Chains A and B, each alone.
Chain A
Amino acid sequence: MSPAGVPGRLEVRIKQKLYRAASGGNLHVLGELAFTLANGEVAALVGPSGCGKTTLLRIVAGLDHDYQGAVVLPQGCRLGMVFQEPRLLPWRTVEDNVRLAAPQVSDGALSALFGTLGLAEHRRHFPGELSLGLARRVALARAFAVEPDLLVLDEPFVSLDAALADRLRAELIELVGRRPVTTLLVTHDVEEAIGLADRLLVLSASPARVVADVPVARPRTSRNAEEVAAIVSELARRSGA
């Protein structure tokens, strides 16, 4: 599989990824695509829908080995992932869902995590009894409970109302602030990307390549509308160039 890496560092060097369509013929999903994330860095992948972001995440997560190139995961990598849908086990309680993914988690750490995410009173509930917002929180809790070296988030706040998405974003920032973890986030919402990431990786339409690598300088907690506007215009300038 992947060669041994450096602690906390994610290295992605993809030459290309073809997808065999059901109708026959190949779909060129990813083009030449390379980037490296330093330990604790949070990067957001932004790009048009259908450009292969989820495919890229699946390759990074080791769910798809059928590509050309290499992905070097952090040394001794423990992976935490939040999928687009919560993907909880409907037949296990909230607590069991988290514990099955993270058997090593201590009672104290679990309580703290549930406290931060507002899940304390839902421990014994089954996923079918939760709203989508709560289920998403459980998925976040599960990813953090494994104390990952690499966190992969695939549009974790899609199809939530704006206020709830904002709250969850704030909770995510708090969790990442508490224990720095190399994070790769996919979103199609540039403002969300700017709010969460240290760095934006802008992808082109399929076959995806990195067309811009934009650092976000200010700390997460003090980002404001002005900063967002500046980066959005920077992005516009670069993609015009």
Chain B
Amino acid sequence: MPAASIGRARGIEVVLRLISLGLLIAAWWLGSHLAGERLLPDPQSVALAIIAEARSGALAFNLGVTLARVAASFVIAMALGTAFGLVMGRRRAADRLGDPWLVALLNLPALVIIVLAYIWAGLTESAAIAAVALNKLPIATVTVREGARSLDPGLDDMARVFRMPTWVRLRHVVLPQLAPYLAAAARSGLSLVWKIVLIVELLGRPNGVGFEIGTAFQLFDVTRILAYALAFVAVMLVIETFLVQPLERHVSRWRPRKA
């Protein structure tokens, strides 16, 4: 495809996205006028609420706290999930041993894990983070296990013949093969983790977006609820665009590009 038509295609894409966003805001506006300001405040008042919270510094503080919790539990869940998934995908005995645990964890409702974590470990930061990580862990494990099962035995033989050290083998032979599975686990994981973090904050933390939304709920303050929710969605969108997508592009740079 020549450069000019690529540019035009991109331009159309951007216009379509803007139209889509415009329609959403228009629908919001209309809904607000039909349902009334109390049930659904209009976009303008939500924007003003965001600005007011940002001025006071509360927005940045709460977003930061929540984001730190998301990051901590995400990293823990991904690291452990990758390790467990690799071992379970490679060793039959480990798979047999771990599978019942995995099924149990997968089917345990998030709320149960959170409540039990708070009861057993108290209303602490580590209990909160552990509860979120534990919710994400089985899904990461299952995804990576699938990847570990499909590792190329030919490349494994090659690495053994040339006596590559374990670390080299992991970094250059195994992880690149797992990259699509890790990306899938990270994508679904990030959105899941931040939703669960909000519940954890609602139930047992004195700060963060979830706590603010909980307070707003008690006061029936829909404007505030929307202000915090939208601000956090925006933050996650930024992370997706400027962190996750460039990382994916870097990891898949060796794939022959389609014309």
Contacts and interface: CB of A to CB of B under 8 A. Distances in A.
B254 A63 contact: no
A62 B160 contact: yes
A89 B164 CA distance: 13
B103 interface: no
Interface string B165-185: 000100011001001000000
B113 to A, nearest CB: 36
Interface string A75-105: 0000111010101011110001000111000
Nearest to B161: A81
Contacts, number: 55
A146 interface: yes
A128 B255 contact: yes
Contacts of A96: 172
Contact of B157 (A83, A92, A142): A83
**Secondary structure type dominating chain B contacts:** helix
Given A92-B172, A126-B254, A128-B256, A87 B158 contact: yes
Contacts of A62: 160-161
A83 to B, nearest CB: 7
A232 B251 CA distance: 52
Contacts of B255: 90, 128
B176 A79 contact: no
A61 B157 CA distance: 9
A129 B161 contact: no
Interface residues of B, number: 18
Interface string A120-153: 0000001011000000000000100010000010
B155 A89 contact: yes
A89 B162 contact: no
Contacts of B164: 100-101
Nearest to A63: B157
Most chain B CB atoms below 10 A, which of A58, A91, A128, A142: A91
B109 interface: no
Contact of B161 (A61, A89, A90, A100): A61
A100 B168 CA distance: 8
A102 B160 contact: no
A79 B155 CA distance: 16
A90 B173 CA distance: 10
Contacts of A63: 157, 160-161
Interface string A198-238: 00000000000000000000000000000000000000000
A87 B162 contact: no
Contacts of B206: none
Nearest to B173: A89
A128 B252 CA distance: 12
Nearest to A127: B254
A142 B164 CA distance: 13
B161 A79 contact: yes
B2 interface: no
Contact of A129 (B155, B172, B173, B256): B256
A233 B172 CA distance: 49
A142 B176 contact: no
Given A79-B163, A81-B162, A100-B162, 20 more contacts: A61-B157, A61-B161, A63-B160, A63-B161, A79-B161, A80-B162, A83-B158, A85-B154, A87-B154, A89-B172, A90-B254, A92-B172, A92-B254, A100-B164, A100-B172, A101-B162, A126-B254, A128-B254, A128-B256, A152-B161
Interface of A: 58, 61-63, 79-81, 83, 85, 87, 89-92, 96, 100-102, 126, 128-129, 142, 146, 152
Give 7 nearest A-B pairs by CB, closest first. Answer: A101-B162, A91-B176, A126-B254, A91-B254, A81-B161, A87-B158, A128-B256
11 contacts: A62-B161, A63-B157, A79-B161, A87-B154, A87-B155, A89-B155, A89-B172, A89-B176, A101-B162, A126-B254, A128-B256
